[in-house]
Amino acid sequence: MQPLPASVLPDGIRARILPGINGLDIHVLEAGHETPGRPAVLLLHGFPEIAYSWRKVLPALAAAGYHAFAPDQRGYGRTTGWDASYDGDLSSFRVLNVVRDAMGVMTALGHRSVEAVVGHDFGVTPAAYGALLRPDVFKRMVLMSGPFAGPPPLAPAKRPAGPDIHAALAALPRPRKHYQWYYSTRPANDDMWKAPQGVHAFLRAYYHHKSADWKNNKPFELKGWTAEELAKMPTYYIMDLADGMAATVAKEMPSAAEIAANRWLTEDELRVYSGEYERNGFQGGLQWYRVRTGGRFNGELEIFAGRTIDVPATFISGRSDWGIYQSPGALERMQKTACTNMKEIHLIEGAGHWVQQERPEEVNRLLLQFLKST
């Protein structure tokens, strides 16, 4: 696999392949690499993204004197060596192994630690566990668009039987289902990879639906983990029971005029994403959801029950991002119990879920302010 061509990258960013890291050949974008000895910043993307989602952040960090780098994480983009099969080895996608991937990238680029690890969306998980387990390596933490509520509590010997949230969602007057459990099903990959509208149009609608451009994104705190409360979220989180994700977002496809007016994700930029997903499909990213929803690997995370993140931390999100509230109470637990040194919570106006792409200038300002002040 060849790195992304320079023709699609902003000035100052280079792409290369780092071979032999934890069983992978990892594709990485970096900036500030020309000068040795710079302090490092590691950027971890979410779903359905790739390292390219940091294209507007890498140059700003480099200009401020950092060596900034972003890998295509396990399951994504031009990183190879992972198993794309639904029936393959899911254990390689467990959280601690993904943290090991991140540490391997850092080491291969000549660093023993990073001044900050920055995680967006599902990138929050390895960023947070890295800071939790190795504060000597991940010296600061920035989370974007998804709060970290702490490691799971130690499970009792026998869990009490509780109400089935999925049955309750399906029994609503408007029957619904939770997107994370849908993403964990066998049909989910083909639903998006072989979407009737094509991968490019699917991604355009998906990104639009979760951005501030979709004017119905007006999130608020939910009262609890109940079907009635969860169903207040948009359909990209709590889907109509009969729809796949391709059909869900197709209903909100932006007009040709809206697409032409989009400055934070142009058609040329979107083609970089769609080209990667047309080649790979989505299963690599969906494996992360299966690790979360299946609970098979929770036991090794329960070892860290009650442990806090003590490095300096901050949280940045778009004010129009439902990701802040999709797990009721998570934002409060992040501030009060999971992190002992959470500096500030920033909700940026005019941004939805893709905050570092929708409002990069403000994100870069906040990132650099945090790095300088801590």
Give the pair of three-digit tokens for residue 32. Answer: 């500030």
The residues facing 100 across adjacent strands are: none
Q: Write out the residue range of the structural domain in which residue 233 sits.
A: 165-286
Question: Is residue 160 included in any domain, yes or no?
Answer: no
Shared domain check, 309 and 363: yes
Domain boundary among 229, 264, 286: 286
Return d(Cα 102, Cα 72) in angstroms, integer: 10
User: What are the two backbone dihedrals, phi and then psi, of residue 145, each rounded to the nearest 5 degrees?
Assistant: 75, -5
Nearest-CA neighbor of 219 among 239, 242, 240, 236?
236
Shared domain check, 305 and 269: no
Place of tokens 């933490």: 141
Question: Is residue 1 included in any domain, yes or no?
Answer: no
Shared domain check, 360 and 265: no
Q: How many CB atoms lie within 10 A of CB 170?
A: 13
Domain boundary among 286, 319, 346: 286
Shared domain check, 202 and 96: no
- Looking at residue 156, what is its pLDDT? 72
Question: Is residue 364 included in any domain, yes or no?
Answer: yes
For the chain, how many structural domains are there in total?
Answer: 2
Question: Is residue 44 included in any domain, yes or no?
Answer: yes
Question: Is residue 33 included in any domain, yes or no?
Answer: yes
3-state secondary structure 198-246: CHHHHHHHHHHHCCCCCCCCCCCCCCCCCHHHHCCCCCCCEEECCCCHH
Question: Is residue 292 included in any domain, yes or no?
Answer: no
Shared domain check, 105 and 149: yes
Shared domain check, 137 and 39: yes
Question: Is residue 91 included in any domain, yes or no?
Answer: yes
Question: Is residue 291 included in any domain, yes or no?
Answer: no
- Looking at residue 158, what is its pLDDT? 56
Shared domain check, 181 and 129: no
Shared domain check, 151 and 56: yes
Return d(Cα 289, Cα 184) in angstroms, integer: 6
User: Which mean pLDDT values do the consecutive 10-residue runs of the chain (374 residues) have?
Assistant: 97 98 98 96 98 98 98 98 95 98 98 98 98 98 97 75 86 98 98 98 98 98 97 98 98 98 98 98 98 95 97 98 96 96 96 98 98 94
Domain boundary among 286, 307, 328: 286
- Looking at residue 343, what is its pLDDT? 85
**CATH code for position 57:** 3.40.50.1820
* Parallel, antiparallel or unpaired: strands 313-318 and 116-120: unpaired
Shared domain check, 42 and 98: yes
Shared domain check, 115 and 239: no
CB within 8 A of 57, min separation 6: which ones? 43, 68, 118, 356, 360, 363, 364, 367
Shared domain check, 235 and 328: no
- Which H or E element spans position 67? strand 67-71
Q: Where are the alpha helices (DSSP H) in 1-94?
A: 58-63
- Which H or E element spans position 318? strand 313-318
Shared domain check, 272 and 304: no
* Side chain identity at residue 115, one-letter code: E
